[in-house]
Amino acid sequence: MRSRVVITGALLGLLSGAGALAHHSFATFDQTKETTLVGTIKEVQWTNPHIWVQVLVKNAASGQTIEWSIEGGSPNGLSRQGWKRSSLNAGDPVEMTIHPLKDGTNGGSLVRVTVNGKLVGNPRAEPPKEST
């Protein structure tokens, strides 16, 4: 009887973990490319499960201002990297490096950001390179 309980518990643990992995998929972002955005912060949404930053970027060719939606890490994770809720504010001039969306729309995953030329927090580590 005890072994059934242990096996059932193990199976439930594995199944519940699958949902967490699916939630944290970065499949929509092109991890092989980095794009740099220079603009002004419109809005910061410091909420779980991930922060979102709306950035206004002027298109050099057309002069038109384009809004980008950038997904960051969790507030808890960013706090451990030295971020504060007040690290990014509406109106701040920023330079952001992102992994762009694969579909080409104006969005991406935050890699690093500077405000007034100062790096915010500690940038996330690069994934280890595979040995050949």
Q: Is the pLDDT of residue 8 over 60?
A: no
**Residue-wise pLDDT tens digits, 96-108:** 999 999 999 999 9
**Residue-wise pLDDT tens digits, 62-93:** 999 999 999 999 999 999 999 999 999 999 99
Q: Cβ–Cβ contacts within 10 Å for residue 121, how many? A: 18
Q: What is the 3-state secondary structure (H, E, C) of 56-91?
A: EEECCCCCCEEEEEEECCCHHHHHHCCCCCCCCCCC
**Residue-wise pLDDT tens digits, 17-26:** 444 444 556 7
pLDDT of 25 reads 65
Nearest to 118 by CA among 92, 90, 80: 92
Nearest to 91 by CA among 43, 28, 38: 43
User: How far apart are alpha carbons 21 and 28 in whole angstroms?
Assistant: 14
Q: Which CATH superfamily is domain 35-119 in?
A: Nucleic acid-binding proteins (2.40.50.140)
- pTM of the full structure: 0.74
Tell me the average pLDDT of the chain.
83
